[in-house]
Structure 1
Amino acid sequence: MNVWIWGLVLLLAVSSAKWGSGKLAKPLKKLSKQWGFSKVAAASLLALVTASPEVGISTVSAIRSVSDIGLGNMLGSNIIALPLIMTTAYIASRKSFKTNGKEHQQHLENKFFALPKSSVYVLTVPYLLIVGLVAVLTIPEDWRGLQPVDGWIILAAFFIYLGQALWRGKGKGEEVDWNKKEIFLALSGVLAVVFGAYFTVRAAEHIIDYIGISLVIGGLFITSTLSTVPEVFKTWKVVSSGQPTAGSTSVIGDKAITMTLGFFPLAIVTTPISNFQIYWVNIVFVALIPAVFSLLVIYKKETGLKLKDILILNSLYILYLVIILGVIGVY
């Protein structure tokens, strides 16, 4: 099949996976309301939905014995997501919201994007602990690579992460109505995610082979970028509707789930580290960008991001590109 056709298949497959995850969002929002979760905790639950395409890609790549695509996709999407999503959220928040009143107007005048401290303590700090765990399990020479035991340890970390996020700030639940249409759309969403993940990997295999690059590089720059683009549109829509916290912080929970559930299938089939230098550089930036984000949010009296903070996050991504492209050039 012509590579351009596979390119189209890749776009359609990624869109299918993201469409499917979108159809799962509404039922989870209702569950959050019914169970009385806080906004940040609800964002963590919704991250199960937004991370499902990446987890699906990892699973399919493990089944098809092209685990490096899934590995590259996870690492690449975790690095690009935070600068891209926060930039989108900042720009989308530069208008008046009917629901935010005088406080948001002050944020507009001060060129400030407000975020709660809980977005750091409930989501980012545990995420960094997960990245540290992954590094300990995969970087030391004697343990290098992903083995089944690593998968079970990382899976346990996922349940701990999700549990602490959901139960912090839990309040009283509310009555919600469920209908058959929502359930049908949710089931359709699951099928769309599975379909999209399978054909994303199949198309990526052909495109990577045609270009002549390694599977991990293809995952880092092709599938990861395309799988993040739909999140940009979702972020713009949610933040523009007057929900800046929900529209921006869910990306952190998304990537925490990607670093746990996404690693699990790759570990179960045993995935060696084919290029250690590329791997450790990516792990460093997977941790560095959210760590800097946390400091930028909480070092001020009023927590959040200013324009200069957004520029710092994007500068880190540019630095990553310079370093990783230099490493690739060496090889």
Structure 2
Amino acid sequence: MAVWLWVVVLIGAVWLADWGADHLADPLRKIRRQWGVTGTGGAALLAIVTASPEVAINTTSALRGVGGIGLGNMLGSNIVSFPLIFTIAYLASRRELTGNGGTTQRESDGESPIDGAETHSAHIQQRLLRLDRRSVTVLVLPYLGILGLLALLTIPEQWQGLQPIDGVIMLVAYGLYLTQAVYRGREEGESVEWSTKELGLAVAGVGALAVGAYFTVRATESLIAAFGISEVIGGLFITATMSTAPEVFKTWRVVKSGQVTAGTTSVVADNAVTVTIGFLPLALVTLPIQNMLLFSVNLAFVALMPAALALLIHFGSDDHGLKRWQVGVLDSLYLLYLIVMAFGVLQLL
């Protein structure tokens, strides 16, 4: 089949996987309301669903014997997602909050209705992307801890490669990550109602997710063969970019509705799922790391993005947020990554 047709298949498969994840998200949102989970903790809970396309892609690549695609997707999506999501969020937040969207944001950030609207107007004038200060301690710092554990399990010479025991350890690490995020600042829950249609769509979502993941991997395999590149490179720059694209559109919609923190910092929780639950299927097939330089450089940039974000949020503004130049820093880090890869790492392969 022609290359352009596989590109169409790839786009359609990613959209299908995203549709499936969307219809799994609504039931999980209701669970969050029942449990009284805060907006920041809810981002970690909902990430189980929103990151499910990446997990499904990794699982499919492991089952098909092309684990390099999953490995590249795991690393690449955790790098490109930060500059993409925060840039889109900044652009989407350049509007006044109105209606229910403004109320949602004010409730999320614990502000009074009047102060919330005034504060957001001030942030527009200051060109500030406002974020809940709890996102750093609840989501970003624990995520950095997970990445440190991942490096410890995969980089030392005696432990190189992805082993089944590594997958189990990372799964336990995510359990701890989710537990602390959900229970910190937990509030009183509320009653919700479940409909048969909603549950039926959730079941359909599971099927769509599986089919979309399968064809995403199949399309990437074909494009890799056509371009003559390795599985990991294909995963880094083809699969990872495509699997992140739906999150960009979601971020635009959610942030424009006024849910700035939830729509933006969910990317951190998504990435935590990708490197833990998404790590497990690759580890279960005992995936070797063919090029440690390629892996190490990418893992370093995976960690550099959230580390820079934490510093920018904590020290960059008294109001805990990102100004335009700070969003530009994240974009510059991705540009640096591309330069290092193009003129350094890839030249040595």
TM-score of the two chains, using structure 1 as the length reference: 0.99
- Are 1:323 and 2:340 matched, yes or no? yes
Counterparts of residues 40-59 of structure 1 (less than 5 Å)? 40-59=40-59
1:112 pairs with 2:128 = yes
> Could you tell me how far 1:275 is from its partner in structure 2?
1.1
Q: Which residue of 1 aligns with 2:263?
A: 247
1:72 corresponds to which residue? Answer: 72
Tell me which residue corresponds to 2:174.
Answer: 158
Matches within 5 A, 1:212-223: 212-223=228-239
Q: What's the CA shift string for 1:282-324, capped at 9, x where partnerless?
A: 0100001100100100113210100010000000000001001
Q: For residue 262 of structure 2, what is the amino acid of its counterpart? A: A
Report the aligned-residue RMSD: 0.8
| 1:201-230 deviation line (CA, Å, top 9, x unaligned) | 111111101110000000000000011111
1:132 shift after superposition: 0.4
Q: Distance in 2 between matches of 1:70 and 1:10?
A: 15
How far the C-alpha of 1:26 sits from its partner, in A, is 1.2
| CA distance in structure 2 between the partners assigned to 1:250 and 1:177 by the alignment | 25
Q: Distance in 2 between matches of 1:117 and 1:279?
A: 32
Query: Which residue of 2 is the match for residue 292 of structure 1?
Result: 308
Shift of 1:170: 0.8
In structure 2, C-alpha distance between the alignment counterparts of 1:227 and 1:166, rounded to whole Å: 26
Question: Which stretches of structure 1, 4 residues or longer, exceed 6 Å deviation after superposition?
Answer: none
Q: Does 1:303 align with 2:311?
A: no
Q: Displacement, 1:3? A: 2.2
Match of 1:210 in 2: 226
Which SS does the other structure have where 2:185 is aligned? coil
2:287 corresponds to: 271
TM-score normalized with structure 2 length: 0.94
Q: Does 1:85 align with 2:85?
A: yes
What are the within-5 Å matches in structure 2 for residues 177-256 of structure 1? 177-256=193-272
Give the Cα separation in 1 of the matches to 2:240 and 2:164: 24
1:138-185 Cα offsets, whole Å, 9 max, x none, are 001111110111111111111111111111111110011111111111
Amino acid at match of 1:117: R
The total of aligned residue pairs comes to 331
Amino acid at match of 2:346: I
SS in 1 for 2:178: helix
* Cα displacement string for residues 245-270 of structure 1 (whole angstroms, at most 9, x for unaligned residues): 11101110000010100110100100
CA deviation profile, 1:82-113 (whole Å, cap 9, x unmatched): 11101100000000001241110000011111
| Code of the aligned partner of 1:239 | V
Give the superposition deviation at 1:129: 0.5
Letter of the 2:325 counterpart: K
Listed one character per residue, the Cα deviations across residues 33-52 of structure 1 (whole Å, up to 9, x for unaligned) are 11100110111111111110
| Whole-angstrom distance in 1 between the partners of 2:238 and 2:57 | 13
Q: CA–CA distance in 2 between the matches of 1:97 and 1:238?
A: 12
Q: CA deviation at 1:330?
A: 2.4
Unaligned runs of 5+ residues in structure 1 are none
Instruction: Return the offset for 1:134.
Output: 0.4
**Paired AA for residue 321 in structure 2:** G
Q: 1:313 aligns with which of 330, 337, 346?
A: 330
Between the aligned partners of 2:94 and 2:307, the Cα distance in structure 1 is 25
SS of residue matched to 1:281? helix
C-alpha distance in 2 between matches for 1:252 and 1:88 = 15
Deviates more, 1:94-103 or 1:235-244: 94-103
Percent identity, aligned pairs only, is: 54
CA distance in 2: counterparts of 1:46 and 1:56, whole angstroms: 16
Tell me what 2:117 maps to.
Answer: 101
> 1:60 is matched with which residue?
60
SS for the counterpart of 1:151 is helix
